[in-house]
């Protein structure tokens, strides 16, 4: 059975785990959950040990709805639990209605028992039919959704090597999550050729520890391209972290030690870190990451001490690590004395790209049907004044959306008078 595309499904969790607690909670599922956490895959696992009642809780319903992928572990007594069957019904609802991906796993039970609903599964449904004698449609629905999910591409433990089995499952999940690349978002005009240029600098095939600096003026799209690169390659690393807008965070009284904690907790998948000062933080980063292949994005760095505290030297990180730094200050990158720094200067959008981006925000789906030529003439002037700066084009387009031709003309007059668009570019 074909499943809907994941790319259109907004989610909070990467993975929701559905399982029969008494069968697998303290063994297989714990091992799978820990393996997902180590790869920075944000996973929901219900830790309530008592499954009471027939209907699942609103919190579980919400967690299922907010997950990109549902992993269903069919174990020997999965069908015994009305709780699990209700979860499964909700998962199928999200698969059909929201594009959720479902990954079935058959563990500790003959696959035919699941597919044909025989033996322990038949016995479970016989008991449900007796218990819900007056709600036959409920049991019928449970049988149908189980058959539907069992028919999807699945994983079966065949050779008894559980560690390898779990690794294959994790890699499959990562491959599915990779379809969620932010470069598919419609507003990221012109980003693909720039990503291709960055790919050669990042060079994933090289085993050295490599720093890549992305520099350029405010509003030119440094963060957007860094985010797109991160979403494209994060799964190739043992740990990854994207620290957004460092300059603004520090201006808002967030301390460097807090950013060190974020970096460590994201990559090590732990929250119990005791770091009292930046010196302790730098030592911990070096000690805990020097054998780990990591991807780190440090976004909008504006002082050397930020690099010194978060990514000072090559020997802080394991072979193959990549540290990408975005900044408005090329000199800051030049001053960071690491053995392998590559530089990428962001360039402005060309006229065609500028027009495409501006129109997304100024017209949305529907360009004006009246005064079309007048709008197009004013658009040409606005694009010229914007100078190919993405944030300027977005802000101007958003401001002019839904406004009449006179207001467009007034804005063009204002731009002519000032002969600059710094007002529209947020630093």
| Domain residue limits at 394 | 351-424
pLDDT at 179: 57
Active-site residue set: 87
Question: What phi and psi, each to the nearest 5 degrees, are found at residue 327?
Answer: -165, 160
Q: Which of 23-37, 126-140, 177-191 has the lowest mean pLDDT?
A: 177-191
pLDDT at 10: 47
Average pLDDT over residues 367-394: 86
Examine the domain organization and report whether 270 and 376 are in the same domain: no
Specify if 1 maps to a domain: no
pLDDT at 98: 82
Average pLDDT over residues 8-19: 75
How many domains, in total, are found in the chain? 3
Examine the domain organization and report whether 289 and 364 are in the same domain: no
We report the CATH number of the domain holding residue 162 as: 3.40.50.10140
Examine the domain organization and report whether 103 and 165 are in the same domain: yes
- Extract the tokens encoding 57: 């809780």
Q: Which of 76-80, 123-127, 145-149, 401-405 has the lowest mean pLDDT?
A: 401-405
Examine the domain organization and report whether 188 and 292 are in the same domain: yes
343: three-class secondary structure by DSSP = strand
Examine the domain organization and report whether 333 and 420 are in the same domain: no
Specify if 37 maps to a domain: yes
Examine the domain organization and report whether 28 and 169 are in the same domain: yes
pLDDT at 420: 53
Which carries the bigger pLDDT value, residue 92 or residue 174? Answer: 92
| Mean predicted lDDT score pLDDT of the chain | 85
pLDDT at 116: 92
Examine the domain organization and report whether 337 and 293 are in the same domain: yes
pLDDT at 282: 94
Examine the domain organization and report whether 340 and 358 are in the same domain: no
Examine the domain organization and report whether 10 and 104 are in the same domain: yes
Q: 248-304 pLDDT, tens per residue?
A: 888 776 789 999 998 998 888 776 778 889 999 999 999 999 999 999 999 999 999
DSSP lists the bridge partners of residue 67 as 13
Whole-angstrom Cα distance, residue 26 to residue 37?
16
Above 80 in pLDDT, residue 67? yes
Q: What is the pLDDT confidence band of residue 15, given thresholds at 50, 70 and 90?
A: very high
pLDDT at 365: 65
Which carries the bigger pLDDT value, residue 365 or residue 354? Answer: 354
Question: What phi and psi, each to the nearest 5 degrees, are found at residue 311?
Answer: -160, 70
Percent of the chain with pLDDT over 90: 51
Name the H helices within 99-135: 111-115, 120-131
pLDDT at 47: 62
Average pLDDT over residues 18-23: 89
Q: 26-63 pLDDT, tens per residue?
A: 889 999 998 998 887 889 988 654 344 445 678 888 88
Contacts 24+ apart (CB under 8 A), 359-363: 359/397, 360/186, 360/187, 360/189, 360/397, 361/187, 361/393, 361/394, 361/396, 361/397, 361/398, 361/401, 362/396, 362/397, 362/398, 362/400, 362/401, 363/401
Examine the domain organization and report whether 37 and 166 are in the same domain: yes
Above 80 in pLDDT, residue 11? no
The residue from 308, 326, 345 where one domain ends is: 345
Percent of the chain with pLDDT over 70: 88
Average pLDDT over residues 327-355: 91
Examine the domain organization and report whether 101 and 10 are in the same domain: yes
The residue from 178, 198, 220 where one domain ends is: 178
Specify if 156 maps to a domain: yes
The residue from 345, 368, 384 where one domain ends is: 345
Q: Are strands 13-18 and 210-215 parallel, antiparallel or unpaired?
A: unpaired
Specify if 316 maps to a domain: yes
Tell me if 77 sits within 8 A of 47, measured CB to CB.
Answer: no
We report the CATH number of the domain holding residue 253 as: 3.40.50.300
Above 90 in pLDDT, residue 117? yes
Specify if 393 maps to a domain: yes
Specify if 45 maps to a domain: yes
Non-local (6+) Cβ contacts of 125 within 8 A are 79, 117, 139, 142, 143
Examine the domain organization and report whether 252 and 359 are in the same domain: no
Q: What is the pLDDT confidence band of residue 236, given thresholds at 50, 70 and 90?
A: confident
């Amino acid at each position: 059975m074909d499943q809907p595309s994941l790319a259109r499904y907004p989610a909070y969790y990467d993975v929701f785990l559905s399982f029969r607690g008494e069968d697998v909670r303290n063994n297989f599922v714990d091992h799978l959950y820990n393996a997902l956490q180590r790869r920075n895959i944000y996973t929901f696992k219900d830790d309530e040990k008592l499954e009471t009642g027939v209907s699942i809780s609103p919190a579980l319903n919400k967690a299922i709805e907010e997950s990109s992928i549902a992993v269903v572990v069919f174990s020997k007594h999965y069908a015994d639990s009305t709780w699990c069957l209700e979860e499964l019904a909700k998962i199928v609802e999200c698969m059909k209605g929201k594009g959720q991906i479902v990954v079935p796993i058959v563990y500790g039970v003959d696959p035919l028992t699941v597919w044909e609903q025989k033996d322990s599964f038949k016995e479970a449904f016989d008991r449900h039919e007796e218990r819900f004698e007056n709600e036959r449609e409920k049991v019928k629905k449970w049988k149908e959704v189980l058959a539907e999910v069992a028919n999807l591409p699945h994983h079966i433990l065949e050779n008894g090597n559980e560690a390898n089995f779990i690794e294959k499952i994790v890699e499959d999940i990562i491959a599915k999550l990779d379809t969620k690349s932010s470069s598919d978002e419609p507003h990221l005009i012109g980003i693909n050729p720039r990503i291709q240029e960055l790919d050669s600098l990042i060079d994933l095939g090289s085993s050295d520890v490599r720093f890549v600096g992305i520099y350029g003026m405010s509003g030119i799209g440094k963060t957007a391209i860094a985010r797109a690169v991160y979403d494209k390659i994060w799964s190739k690393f043992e740990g990854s972290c994207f620290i957004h807008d460092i300059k603004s965070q520090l201006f808002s009284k967030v301390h460097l030690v807090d950013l060190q904690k974020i970096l460590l907790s994201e990559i090590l998948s732990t929250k119990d870190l005791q770091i009292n000062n930046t010196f302790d933080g730098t030592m911990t980063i070096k000690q805990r990451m020097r054998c780990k292949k990591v991807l780190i994005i440090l976004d909008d760095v504006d002082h050397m001490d930020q690099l010194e505290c978060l990514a000072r030297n090559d020997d802080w990180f394991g072979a193959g690590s990549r540290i990408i730094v975005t900044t408005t200050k090329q000199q800051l990158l030049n001053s960071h004395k690491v053995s392998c720094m590559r530089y990428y200067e962001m360039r402005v959008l060309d006229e065609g790209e500028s027009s495409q981006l501006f129109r997304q925000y100024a017209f949305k789906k529907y360009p004006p049907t009246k005064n079309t030529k007048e709008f197009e003439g004013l658009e040409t002037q606005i694009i010229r004044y914007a100078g190919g700066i993405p944030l300027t084009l977005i802000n101007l387009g958003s401001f002019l959306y839904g406004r009449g031709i006179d207001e467009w003309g007034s804005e063009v007059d204002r731009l002519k008078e000032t002969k600059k668009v710094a007002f529209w570019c947020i630093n």
